Structure 1
Amino acid sequence: MRRLRSSFILATTAVILAACGGDGATDDSARNTASEGAGGQVVNYTAPTELATLDTTLMTDINSSNYISHAIEGLLKINADGKPVPAIAAEAGTVSEDGLTYTYKLRDDAVWSNGEPVTANDFVFAWQRLVDPEAGASYAYLAETIKNANEIMAGEMDPAELGVIAVSDTEIKIELTQPTPYFESLLAFSAFFPQNEAFVTEKGDKYGTSSENILANGPFTIENWDGTGLTWDLVKNEDYYAADEVQLEEVNVQVIKETSTVVNLFQQGSVDNAQVTGELVKQLATDPNVVVQKKARTAYIEFNHDNVYLQNAKLREAIGLVINRDELVDSVIGDGSTAIGGFLPADFVSNPTTGEDFAAEAGSYLEYDVERAQTLWAEAKAELGVEEITFSLVGDDDEKNKKISQYIQGQIQNNLEGISVELRNVPKKNRLELANQDEFDLLQTGWGADFADAINYMDLLYSTSAYNEGQYANAEFDALIDSSKTTNANNPEARWADLMAAHKLIMEDAAIIPLYQEAETQLRNPNLKGIIFNSVGNEFDLSRAYIEE
């Protein structure tokens, strides 16, 4: 298996040295040869960014979540129809009539990669760690409807008092404080995956920092990741309870951030997928190997509201108005992503009464208007008593995000005289750290839905949310979110009205700048079959994929 990794890296080096020639068409014979040459059921896969962590408690980014979900399974998983179904749970759970108690029986053939059985205590331990304020888990808020979770997160109760009980090694009971319609979708998300208590305790701060410091109970183990490197492998886990359904022996993953490089590798038959952006999307439009995946993911600019200048709503709105989102998606990104005028993506959630899509009903805000932006900027300068301001814009360092950063910089500087934007494009792991430390003025970020409910987005701007890196605070917005979770939690129409009003408030306040709804264009080996793609939660599942020979 290690020979395959060496061959892959040598092929990568060779292609990087080659020019990006040809007409963009892919040689199908090269694709077949690549698959056969790799040794059967082995895939050479590419990723746009590095892994940040393998610790499901501390995980904050979708790329890390995508890969850890191949190594660890929770009680439930998302199937090809986008529905949560049993995984480590042996069967569908039972739910009390009042919707407050969930009970699950666990499989008796699920084991960790160290040979120990997966038990109910592994879930209890992981969820207690999730809500423990000392852990600092950004996803802790997802557990807020579990009994005593809020009190634990506030430091008022011990994590051991969380409403999750190991009835036995193979039975778990979960007590909620209020009905939560999307709760089973949460159980399929990586933040709620189990952890082996003895192993985590032994590893301490090293847990999840490399492939040697993680245990698997899923279809693959993660190998050969040193914590910072740009390569890792998914290796078939022979001890997985459904190992006979897993056909891929190994997935060699290489982070490649330059579009031309990864396309070259694909055309040479060295990799089985290539993410395509910009002009190359147009050049490859007729390639039969092109696939486009639309995501429930919004890219947006987050303001640091601790910055005294950015506390001025007119300045925030002016910045939003000079970004031409149609030009951004058509001329800069060009990967099938679409312009978006609100916080929530299209085709995500619908009005429970009318069926109208949230994004359509909410309408569009911050439409491109340079003249109005300049008027607002003049008024903001008078209110702030300044003529010139310099802002930092922090974003990822892959080719796509660099281009977006440059476009935003140009639009602001060319249309709002006196504002300078300094770009700081860094590896994603570093961008996440800078965001957590509030070391930015403007943050180029995004959010992909973890579960299908509008609250998954609206919670991000709640004043005390761990994901509210910009420290946005609006008491009226918080009250609407609270109402949707309590007073109107069991009234779908009233709850929808709360969330719609909250969305209107943040958009009129220019709390963030929506940019686009993400889509991903890839070249994909036509012999690679059986990948499950999800618009919500973890984006792809290779556990039942295979190479057609």
Structure 2
Amino acid sequence: MKLWKRLTALCLSALVCVTLLTACGRKESTDGRASLSVCVGETPATYDPIYAQRIGDQTILNHLYENLMRLETGENSQTIAVPGAAKSVDMKENSDGTVTYAFRLRGGKWSDGVEVKASDFVYAWQRLADPATGSVYAPLLSIVSGYAEAQASGDMSLLAVSAKSSTTLVVTLTGHYDWFLREVCTSIATMPLRQDVVQRLKQEADAANENLKEDETPRRWWSDPTCLVTNGPYTASAEDENALTLTENTAYGKKLTGPEDLTFRFGDTQTAEVLYDQGVVDAVWPLTEDEMAEQMEADETWQAEPVLETYSVMFNCSRLEDESIRKALSLVIDREQLTAMAGITAQPAEGLVPPGVPEDNADLDFRACGGSLLDNDPESYADRCQDAVD
């Protein structure tokens, strides 16, 4: 299983959560505008797309920026990729086995009125692939021709991503990958960025850091989200330590399908529960264990939105060099009990790759195709322990 497959699967649940927000119940503010308030967990760690790993951070960024493609729920509840910043895409298979995609942009604009250009995607993708940035999501672009050479040399011009014109982005892949549009072109990490904006905000942050006091946190180019220039349906209009308010980006160029005012509130699960009970927020993520248990008891068909996480236990013991010892240890581990400790929605591992990671064909699940490699049946646990002794 390649790293990109694990990374992209982690992003998918965040993007699905995003589409849900547009369908949530709305209320009107005092001036008659539709509004929605959502608690998405702790204060964001970053507003830089190539570093955002928390689901809450990614959800906010997906409202601020628009990628080439976006995820939508299609027939049979399948999540599919549809045009976003791109209005069309053409694919051509080359004689050397590579595949070239040409994305034609729809003519959208940034929140400051400047046209969204193909070069904005080139800059963002080169920045992601650059080893100097150290993004864990860089392997998303490992299927792009020239990636290995660009990583080795630090010369990002070797990455086969170019602007044929201001409205046409050309990407050449090392082969045919069915999941490229659905997983890479909808990822938070490959969102477009304006180079001039990032450089200006970096300079302003560096200047502010020159007079930084010892107890102050160093500023980053994204530290004030209200200064960000975005190409998505929203812009950040107000921020404090407890909340971020987004308002409609009037330069977006598409009809807004969500509320005109969207407020993300921050706090732990207890704070979120209080805010919900007081009517301050309309929706809460994540739910507490007790709340999920109540939902399951009230509706046996209820399921939580999946978030892929893997828990592991590491042993520092030289005896584990013996294969028979490792096998015996695997047999006696009670994964059902460990799963109960991890939470009500956790599932015992059936292999190294968890459920929810797509196979090369995006319609198939890797774990479903590979089958269960581990026996977690509680009724056979005693037999497994005896096998370990033998």
Relative to the length of structure 2, the TM-score reads 0.72
Q: Which amino acid aligns with 1:269?
A: G
1:282-327 Cα offsets, whole Å, 9 max, x none, are: 3455668x96334262432264x9x676975778778766764434
Partner of 1:87: 84
Partner of 1:238: 250
Question: 3-state DSSP class of the match of 2:171?
Answer: strand
Partner of 1:180: 177
**Is the Cα–Cα contact under 8 Å of residues 106 and 171 in structure 1 kept in the other structure?**
yes
> Out of 143, 146, 149, which is 1:145 matched to?
143
1:198-217 Cα offsets, whole Å, 9 max, x none, are: 01112227223331453210
The answer on 1:277 being equivalent to 2:288 is yes
**Is the Cα–Cα contact under 8 Å of residues 356 and 365 in structure 2 kept in the other structure?**
no
1:42-81 Cα offsets, whole Å, 9 max, x none, are: 1121112331211112233333222101110111111122
Provide the C-alpha distance between the structure 2 equivalents of 1:53 and 1:366, rounded to a whole number of angstroms.
Answer: 40
- 5+ residue gaps, structure 2, are 1-23, 206-219
The equivalences for 1:218-367 within 5 A come to 218-225=232-239, 229-242=241-254, 244-259=255-270, 261-274=271-284, 275-285=286-296, 292-295=303-306, 297-301=308-312, 303=314, 324-330=334-340, 333-334=343-344, 336-346=345-355, 348-349=357-358, 358-359=367-368, 361-365=370-374, 367=376
Provide the C-alpha distance between the structure 2 equivalents of 1:254 and 1:265, rounded to a whole number of angstroms.
Answer: 9
Relative to the length of structure 1, the TM-score reads 0.53
> Out of 68, 74, 77, which is 2:70 matched to?
77
Q: Give the C-alpha shift of residue 247 in structure 1.
A: 4.1
Partner of 1:41: 34
Q: Which amino acid aligns with 1:339?
A: P
Provide the C-alpha distance between the structure 2 equivalents of 1:208 and 1:40, rounded to a whole number of angstroms.
Answer: 28
Partner of 1:106: 105
Q: 1:73 to 1:293 in 2, by over 3 A?
A: same
Q: Give the C-alpha shift of residue 182 in structure 1.
A: 1.5
Question: 3-state DSSP class of the match of 1:184?
Answer: helix
1:128-183 Cα offsets, whole Å, 9 max, x none, are: 111111111111111112121111112x2511222111111111111222222211
Partner of 2:133: 135
**Is the Cα–Cα contact under 8 Å of residues 347 and 357 in structure 1 kept in the other structure?**
yes
Provide the C-alpha distance between the structure 2 equivalents of 1:178 and 1:264, rounded to a whole number of angstroms.
Answer: 51
Q: 1:174 to 1:302 in 2, by over 3 A?
A: farther
Query: Considering only aligned residues, what root-mean-square deviation do their CA atoms show, in Å?
Result: 3.7
Provide the C-alpha distance between the structure 1 equivalents of 2:198 and 2:317, rounded to a whole number of angstroms.
Answer: 42
Q: Which amino acid aligns with 1:58?
A: Y
The aligned length equals: 333
Percent identity, please.
24
- 5+ residue gaps, structure 1, are 1-30, 379-549
Q: 1:224 to 1:372 in 2, by over 3 A?
A: farther
Q: Which amino acid aligns with 1:297?
A: L
Provide the C-alpha distance between the structure 2 equivalents of 1:76 and 1:257, rounded to a whole number of angstroms.
Answer: 32
The answer on 1:57 being equivalent to 2:55 is no
